[in-house]
Structure 1
Amino acid sequence: MALTPRFWGQGHRLVPGLFARHSLAVTTEVKRRLTPPERYRFGPSVRSLLVPGHDPCGLFRDDEFWLAIRTPEGAATLHLARAGGELHATGLGAGAAWVAERADAIAGLRDDVSTFAALAGRHPVVARLAKTFSGVRMPATGQVFPRLLRAILEQKVTGLEAHRSYRATCRHFGEPAPGPAGLVLPPDPAAVAARAYWEFHPFGVEQRRTQTLLRAAQVAERLDRCADSAEATARMTALPGIGPWTAAEVVRTAFGDPDAVSVGDYHIPNTVAYALAGEARGTDERMLELLEPFRGHRGRVCDLLAMGGLMAPRHGPRRPVRSFARF
């Protein structure tokens, strides 16, 4: 589909109440119209790209989605809006053409589910969830480092801690993103790599995770050039501090890999064992055994179980919420 270049200025409609940090300078604008598949569910398909609560680099509100991206062609913001049976995609900024061309992938419209129905039928729970959430698609941003940043911060801590650190890091390194949504661009890997590890303590990140993040930032350009999920996984796991869990979290979003399983997760093995075998607890080995019939879509099955709210019974104390910012 042809991309239509335009220019954005004061005449462009602004998201109500979002005026902070945007510029009224003329900005390149590229538009596309996308046709989603039948029963496509917009919100659940794109919300996975955002940190819960508040994400400085993205926003979903009132059936509109905004995402700030550092593209190879420069800073950009993608705006997706549902209009009848279509999605209207608008790229803003120097990277407007790049982000508009990739808008369908970011919305999950390149997600191939043609082989999943037959696999889902191998287990009644998966078959039911596949039908219930048939309109949810897996996005593919084509951006490795932004998701790797978030995944590293999520290592071995609670979601609350990780998301608090992510927001603080993005705000500290943030540069205003193009457009009216008041977003900031994801941190520049070069700026991250140039910092000392102790500078991340105020963001709630200790030395171990920070050093992993600094190593990843140093090779971010090579990671973003990876051709596919397999290459990206190999390059990431070659770095000290990055294992299969972190790599899977990244490639599932950056490449839309439906088979990426987060081995080493605190909850997922129990969830899979409970949902698929009625077992209250499971190991990584047992999880992979139960997921084997769904090879090619094992990560998708894990996502479906999470969307369906299927969780193993909880036992024992929860992880404490800490803050390294005071250390």
Structure 2
Amino acid sequence: MVYIIWLDVVVVAVLSGNRNYEGRVHPLTRANYLASPPLVVAYALAGTVDIDFENEPIGIGKDGKEVYFKDVWPTNEEIEQVIKSNVLPKMFVDTYGSITEGNDAWNNLVVPKETLYPWDPKSTYIHKPAYLENITMTPPGPPSVKDAYCLLSLGDSITTDHISPSGVIKPGTPAAKYLLERGVKPENFTTYGSRRANDEIVVRGAFANIRIVNKLLEGEVGPKTVHVPTGEKHYVFDAAMKYKSEGHDMVILAGDEYGAGSSRDSAAKGPLLLGVKAVIAKGFERIHRSNLVGMGIIPLRFKAGEDADSLNLSGHECFTIDLPRKITEIRPGQDVTVTTQNGKSFTCTLCINTQVCHI
């Protein structure tokens, strides 16, 4: 019999890239630190990030003596010598001298003659997105948001990787079920990132990050939420589809820095495909706010000193947003009134920061 003792340990990763999101290096990593490649090796040798490199050894040498960081860190002269002997002008001349000629794999690609992309309905990687269907040259105008349920209630620093993760597609998730139904074997699920050109994966991957914290779950961590009318717990995608089938609008409550991290347009496309009409947050990352506007999702910012907690919003309310009905009446930064079904009312700032163009 094997006994497993669960310790309150935070598993971390040290990496030299910039993909330092929760769960990206491994699903169980809760923190990630960026470092130079030599530092990554040093931390790997030490086996912990809880170390004082100046006073603690990073390991034991073959002679049984303690090895310190200063013993393995290269000098500037050593680094310069490696560069001079390995980074040679001929490398650049050879590469850029024939760069316009391509290579056999690229040159042998078959280029279709159609002027429009020939969508393959069987492809699980590239799919014609739903928001391109029935698109018109005339803007539809401001959306109506009436008695909308809260799909998720989130805190501060929700990143684009929380909203649209790039990690592995785990068995049992909505995205995995979609792929299984189309004959894709689990070993070929790959990642949300590799299938981001398929809107069916984007919508099923929205808020599918395994480390996302949704206040509606009361402490449980993961990509699920509560269907407010029934109290049932579902994956976010399944809950959103249930709301849509019932004819309900949806909003998201969030804290400060909503949409932080790398710019990712799928982080706006996913919520749109779920049916989210508005995000009411304490603050937005600049580019993500713009992406929300571009996809027709209303970004609303709580007034200074206010947020969902201070307004006693549990996330179980229904929200109605009093937007102008004519697009010509939309003004950058104007005040918008939000009311709930129990009579609570508060004012937000409409985070459309440029003048509306009228076609």
Q: Normalized against structure 2, the TM-score is what?
A: 0.27
- Larger relative CO (CA 8 A, sep 6+): 1 or 2? 1
Q: Which has the larger radius of gyration?
A: 2
Q: Normalized against structure 1, the TM-score is what?
A: 0.28
